[in-house]
Amino acid sequence: MAAEPIVCPTDEVDSATPMTKVLSLYKFVPVADTILLQSQLRELGAKHGVLGRLLVAPEGLNGTISSDSTETTGVDTFLEELAQDERFSSGVQFHRAEIPSSTRTFNRFSVQLRKEIVTLKQPDLCDPNQVKGVYVSSPAEWNALLLDPECVVLDTRNDYEVELGTFRNAINPNTEAFTEFPEFVQKTLDPSKHRKVAMFCTGGIRCEKASSYMLKSGFEKVYHLKGGIEGYLDNVDEQESLWDGECFVFDYRVAVGHGNKLGSYTRCFVCRGILSKEDCLLPSFVKGYTCKHCVDMPEERRSGKLDRQRQFERQGMDQFRVFVPKSEAERIRAEKLQRKEEAREREKAKPKKKAAAAVQQQSDHEDYVRQS
């Protein structure tokens, strides 16, 4: 089997290109009636025609939603009606982006109940509704912290996210899950020595919890990037940026760059591994079947996961963006069209073949009767 490259839709976007609005949002606020809020949000999502995934917990709300930018209802009207709830009337933290509609973000809308909207498992040492770090709002202020030799800057994301990109001078805790962050702090940092700490994550939510944890653990000055990496990439002049690489995001965009433009990474729908352009050119990559992360996966495990790739393709959500020259892509498309045409011709010929076979069968039968 050979990989089937397709051109990434992100490089050529004009005013006529249909766009999708994507809204990442969260708010830490006490929620006593989580089941009721879940039901209300489901109704709100259906009413405004949004897709996405929201998490509800006693500590607040977190998630990402999307809608067609041409619709009169969608993420904006959803947000407006959400603000009518007293708990969210002062607003929520959110980041907005627009991407080509050919790159779908979600295929349905769901609202799920959780113990935490972002899991840290430190209930006694972490409550952003009580205490959290100081927001750093402007790229200039954040750059100053990155260049401050007395400031320890922490990337609170997981190692697979950090691989795609991070800030200059930032420390990678090398965690596989956010729940490992407290252990990293306990083993690596000392409140008496590290008096000034700054941290960042994708959209800001993990830092709300991480900064709360560090303040309650005795650290004196704790800062965190408001709006996260996505907010920084939206507002910083690329010439002044101290960000290197791309930023992993938790939807089918996979990664974004400066200006939150769609990035160059894709994902394997079999194992969910992140793939670069170069990874998609390796012999181990076969679209919808294997990649460098799962090439050794047992066949019995793979067969079940293949159904997921087929489902996404049926829904128009094939997100394998393998970058190839346009001439090569055009050749591949032409071959694909030719195969489809040949298949149609074969289908047309089937009735004739069946009729010919029936005539032959009748003739053979008559010969047999005469000879007997």
Active-site hit among 8, 126, 201, 268 = 201
| Catalytic (active site) residue 201 | yes
- Whether the CB-CB separation of 256 and 97 falls below 8 Å is answered with yes
Q: Which long-range contacts (CB under 8 A, 24 or more apart) does 85-93 make?
A: 85/40, 87/27, 87/29, 87/30, 87/31, 88/27, 88/29, 88/61, 91/27, 92/25, 92/26, 92/27, 92/61, 93/25, 93/26, 93/27, 93/203, 93/204, 93/205, 93/226, 93/227
- Whether the CB-CB separation of 87 and 178 falls below 8 Å is answered with no
Whose CA is closest to 63, among 20, 102, 103, 113? Answer: 113
Whose CA is closest to 164, among 100, 233, 64? Answer: 233
What whole-number distance in Å separates Cα of residue 225 and Cα of residue 208?
10
What whole-number distance in Å separates Cα of residue 21 and Cα of residue 10?
15
Residue entry with tokens 């609202």: 111
Q: Helices 228-235 and 139-146: crossing angle, nearest 10°? A: 110
Show which residues are catalytic.
201
